[in-house]
Amino acid sequence: MKFFLRNIEALGAILLAIIWVSPLLYAFWAAFHNTSDAVNFNIYGEWTLDNFKIAWDGAPWLRYFLNTFMLVTVILIGQFFVTTLAGFAFAQIKFPGRDFVFILVLMQLFILPEVLIVENYAMVSRLGLFDTILGVGMPYMASAFGIFLMRQAFKGVPYELHEAARVEGCGWFGILWRVYVPLARPTYIAYALVSVSTHWNNFLWPLIVTNTPDTRPLTVGLSIFGAPENGVDISIISAATMMSIAPLLIVFLIFQRQFVQAFLRTGIK
Amino acid sequence: MLRLKKMSQRQSIYGWLLLSPAMILLTTFAFYPSMATFWSSLFSRGTRRKPSKFIGTDNYTDLFADPTFWKVLTNNLIYAGATIPISIVIALSMALWANSKIPARSFIRTAYFTPTVLPMIAAANLWLFFYTPGFGVLDQIGSLFGLPSVNWLGQPETALFSIIVVTIWKEAGFFMIFYLAALQTIPEDLKEAADIEGTSRWYYTRRIVLPLLMPTTLFILVNALINSVKLIDHLFILTKGGPNDASKLLLYYIWEMAFAFFDAPHAAATTILVLAALGIIAGIKFTILDKRTHYQ
């Protein structure tokens, strides 16, 4: 009894963990069973791949995967470019007006792109980027969060290295590229993980800006596939859900430590 | 002297050049749209016969006279009021557990954190299984105890609650990470000192750990506030804001007005109100919270 009491906390922790993964585990199990077995909890039901086959044939998943992949790549490249330059300017170059602009950038942390959907939609259409992957990605490239992160990383680089590179004859760009960027590598990796997982999962904005299967990312494709109007049954929805989360989930489970570190590094200033 | 001036001029040019891509993009997709939203919230909705014209604050007056707006606002306040404290408390317990010496610790950490890496849309699909009346998991469990079938998502009393549960499930593990990091910075000697004094674990947690976690809690609080505006994707799958607007939240309401009912002016007015609320949160963050943490 005493042993039990001492471990009641451990039990609580494990119980919560089981509750927390159960929706995922259940859907995983259901994805491999036919609907009647799944809804009746028939543990002895036969395992089958039929749901995956039906789901796979029901929508252009390969295209969706490709779109999502291109989307996160485009966003990441854009973000790296924009935030590196701006972060460097904010961290290491002194010029009038800098601090004022920095406050403007910080303000953007709270003007969520999600809230400005109406005008951003108008803007993207005006630029002729409606229903393009670039149109989905562009509003996220000048991420205030990323600029802030890069500024912090660059501030941590010892100024002696900067001086040394200058004495060696490096220009601004050379110093940035050879000294700052390599030293900020951990920050880049962390930022990349956070950015990729955020945009892999993003939904509302891509829903608004995409209109054809040629640009639609996975999340939007999944929501259309699973819409009740389509009358797809729940085991097949599970299979489709499993398919679309599998890549990110597998990467996460393998690189769990790095993921957690990444979220930490980017979250706590 | 002249050389020095020239150098600082050059530095200025470099500075602005480096900032220009960011400034152009931020202007295009944040600052200008914010202004444009405000501007268009002052105009009437144009139709083929009646072109849109300046109407001042009429769109806002319409909103304040519309019971749906108040319903949605109340829903969002309930949503924030429930998801924020509950996910913070769960996140804190998760972190304390995941940081203590208990069996299966790595499984526990993974389990807590996994929902964070799933898209909200996928999370909503998983939870559909639990909520579907008749054969959903919750109903099946209920029927074991002889409880009647409940249409969780289909009735006004439970729809918002069901949405709240999914949000908590999704974000608690994320917040746990920040607590976990903060816990690991608490020096071991504090625990040792407490042990020597013979303090109970509960007392140690309450008087030492929790105060030390205060800055983290505030950081999480700001994030959670933003999330309570932002996290609405699951509405598209689970309830579509229904039944009878019972689970409709502000951002979904904006989306619906603008893209389902094509009423951009009222959507703009609502957006401005949300931006104002976010501005207040930002103000609180930069004045009160940043006194504790300094960005240098």
Over residues B46-82, the pLDDT tens digits come to 777 777 788 888 889 888 999 999 999 999 999 999 9
Neighbours of B13 (CB within 10 A): 10
CA angle B139, B141, B145 (to 5 degrees): 105
Asked whether the predicted pLDDT for residue B169 surpasses 80, the reply is yes
For residue A231, tell me if it sits in a domain. yes
Neighbours of A46 (CB within 10 A): 9
> What is the reported pLDDT for A5?
55
What is the number of structural domains in chain A? 1
Q: Given a cut of 70, is residue A3 above it in pLDDT?
A: no
Residue A29 lies in a domain: no
pLDDT tens-digit series, residues A186-205: 888 888 888 988 899 899 99
Share of residues in chain A with pLDDT > 70 (%)? 93
Q: Band the pLDDT of A88: cuts 50, 70, 90.
A: very high
Asked if A48 and A238 touch (Cβ cutoff 8 Å), the reply is no
Please tell me what DSSP assigns to residue A169: T
Which chain A residue shows the shortest CA-CA distance from B180? A264
- Residue B232: partners with Cβ closer than 8 Å, 6 or more residues away: A204, B249, B251, B252, B255
Residue A75: which domain range? 61-266
Q: Is residue A2 part of a domain?
A: no
| A25 and B CB contact within 8 Å | no
Instruction: For A8-29, write each residue's pLDDT tens digit.
Output: 888 888 999 999 998 888 888 8
Nearest Cβ partner for A116 among B14, B34, B135: B34
Token pair, residue B149, equals 């079938």
Distance separating the N- and C-terminal Cα atoms of chain A: 46
Distance (Å) from the alpha carbon of B251 to chain A's nearest alpha carbon: 7
Find the mean pLDDT for residues A35-40: 72
Rounded distance, CA A38 to CA A48, Å? 11
A152: closest CA of chain B, how far (Å) = 8
> What does the alpha-carbon distance between residue B11 and residue A93 come to, in Å, rounded to a whole number?
7
For the cut 90, the answer to whether the pLDDT of residue B180 exceeds it is no
Cα–Cα distances in angstroms (integers) from residue A76 to residues A193, A196, B270, in the given order:
10, 7, 31
CA distance linking residue B231 with residue B244, whole number of Å = 20
Distance of CA B161 to the CA centre of its chain: 16
Residue of chain A with shortest Cα separation from B252: A204
**Chain A nearest C-alpha distance from B235 (Å):** 11
- CB atoms inside a 10 Å sphere around CB B180: 21
Q: Would you call B287 exposed, middle or buried from its count of C-beta atoms within 10 A (0-12, 13-18, 19+)?
A: exposed
Minimal-distance CA residue of chain B relative to A242: B122
Angle between helices A61-92 and A98-108 (to 10 degrees): 150
CB under 8 Å, gap of 24 or more: what pairs does A19-22 form? A20/B111, A20/B112, A20/B114, A20/B115, A20/B169, A20/B173, A21/B111, A21/B114
* CB contact at 8 A, B219 and B281: no
B23-40: average pLDDT: 91
Helices (DSSP H) in chain A: which residue ranges?
2-6, 8-31, 35-39, 50-58, 61-92, 98-108, 117-126, 133-137, 144-155, 159-167, 172-175, 181-183, 185-201, 204-209, 218-226, 234-254, 256-267
Query: Cβ–Cβ of B18/A88 closer than 8 Å?
Result: yes
Render A108-129 in DSSP notation, one character per residue: HTTS-TTTTHHHHHHHHHHTT-
Per the domain annotation, does A236 fall within a domain? yes
B178 pLDDT band, cuts 50/70/90, is confident
Q: What is the pLDDT of residue B290?
A: 64
Find the residue in B nearest to A40 (Cα): B135
Q: Is A65 on the interface with B (CB under 8 A)?
A: no
pLDDT at B156 over 60: yes
- Whether the pLDDT of residue A2 is over 60: the answer is no
Instruction: State residue A12's pLDDT score.
Output: 86
Dist. CA A266–CA B221, nearest whole Å:
16
Q: Which two tokens stand for residue A65?
A: 């995967």
H-only helix segments in chain B: 2-26, 32-40, 58-65, 67-99, 105-113, 120-131, 137-144, 156-184, 188-197, 201-204, 210-212, 214-230, 233-238, 250-255, 264-287
Inspect the interface and report whether the beta carbons of B278 and A115 lie closer than 8 Å: yes
Range with lowest mean pLDDT among A73-77, A107-111, A263-267, B33-37: A263-267
Min Cα–Cα distance to chain A from B37, Å: 6
More reliable by pLDDT, B39 or B137: B39
Shortest Cα distance, chain B CAs vs residue A182, angstroms = 18
* First-residue to last-residue Cα distance in chain B: 30
Domains of chain B: 55-292 (1.10.3720.10)
CB under 8 Å to A32, separation ≥6 — which residues? A47, A48, A49, A51, A239
Per-residue tokens: B195: 């042990």
Instruction: Determine the pLDDT at residue B296.
Output: 36
Model confidence at A269, pLDDT cuts 50, 70, 90, reads very low
The CATH number for A76's domain is 1.10.3720.10
Assess whether pLDDT exceeds 80 at residue A144: yes
Of B117, B226, B233, the CB nearest to A112: B226
Provide the number of CB pairs (under 8 Å) joining chain A to chain B. Answer: 269
Cβ of A203 within 8 Å of Cβ of B119? The answer is yes
* Structure token digits, residue B27: 């202007």
d(CA A146, CA A137): 15
Of B232, B237, B282, the CB nearest to A107: B282
- What is the distance between the alpha carbons of residues A41 and A37, in angstroms, rounded to a whole number? 6
Which chain A residues are within 8 Å of B98, Cβ to Cβ? Answer: 13
Mean pLDDT of chain A: 86
CA distances in angstroms from A222 to A23, A113, B146, listed in the order given? 18, 22, 35
CB contact under 8 A, B29 and A139: yes
pLDDT beyond 60 at B11: yes
The tokens for A97 are 């007006």
Are B15 and A98 in contact (CB < 8 Å)? Answer: yes
Percent of chain B's residues with pLDDT above 90? 31
pLDDT value at B151 more than 90: no
- Chain B residue with minimal CA distance to A7? B102
d(C-alpha A56, C-alpha A45), whole Å: 22
User: In this complex, which of A12, A226, A267 lies closest to B237 when CB atoms are compared?
Assistant: A226
How far, in Å, CA of B93 to CA of B96, rounded? 5
pLDDT band at residue B19 using 50, 70 and 90 as cut-offs: very high
Task: Identify the residue among B126, B230, B231, B274 best suited for mutation to test binding to A, counting A beta carbons within 10 A and taking the highest.
Answer: B126
Question: Quick one: which of A226, A218, A202 has its CA closest to B132?
Answer: A226
CA distance A174 to A93: 15
Interval A225-250 mean pLDDT: 82
What is chain B's mean pLDDT, rounded?
85
- Under the banding of pLDDT at 50, 70 and 90, the label for residue B235 is very high
> In which band, very low, low, confident or very high, does the pLDDT at B193 lie, cut at 50, 70 and 90?
confident
Span A108-125, average pLDDT: 88
Total length of chain A:
269
Q: How confident is the model at residue A36 (pLDDT cuts 50, 70, 90)?
A: confident
- Closest partner residue to B29 (CB to CB) among A10, A109, A138 is A138
| CB-based contact A260:B113 (threshold 8 Å) | yes
B268:A93 CB<8 A: no
Is residue A198 a part of any domain in this protein?
A: yes
Residues of chain B in contact with residue A147, where contact means CB-CB under 8 angstroms, are 22
Q: Residue A42: its chain B contacts at CB < 8 A? A: none
- For residue A185, give how far its alpha carbon lies from the nearest alpha carbon of chain B (Å): 20
Are A40 and B233 inside 8 Å of each other by CB? no
Residues of A in contact with B181 (CB under 8 A): 264, 267-268
> Could you give the ipTM of this predicted complex?
0.85
Lowest mean pLDDT across B103-112, B136-145, B157-166, B197-206: B136-145
Is the confidence at residue B27, as pLDDT, over 70? yes
Peptide bond into B187 cis (omega under 30): no
- Per the CB < 8 Å rule, is A23 touching B121? no
Distance from CA of A31 to the nearest CA of B (A): 11
Report A:174-233 residues touching B (Cβ under 8 A): 197, 200-204, 207-208, 218-219, 222-223, 226
Answer whether residue A48 is part of any domain.
Answer: no
Residue B44: pLDDT band (50, 70, 90) is confident
Which residues of chain B neighbour A240 with C-beta distances below 8 Å? 125
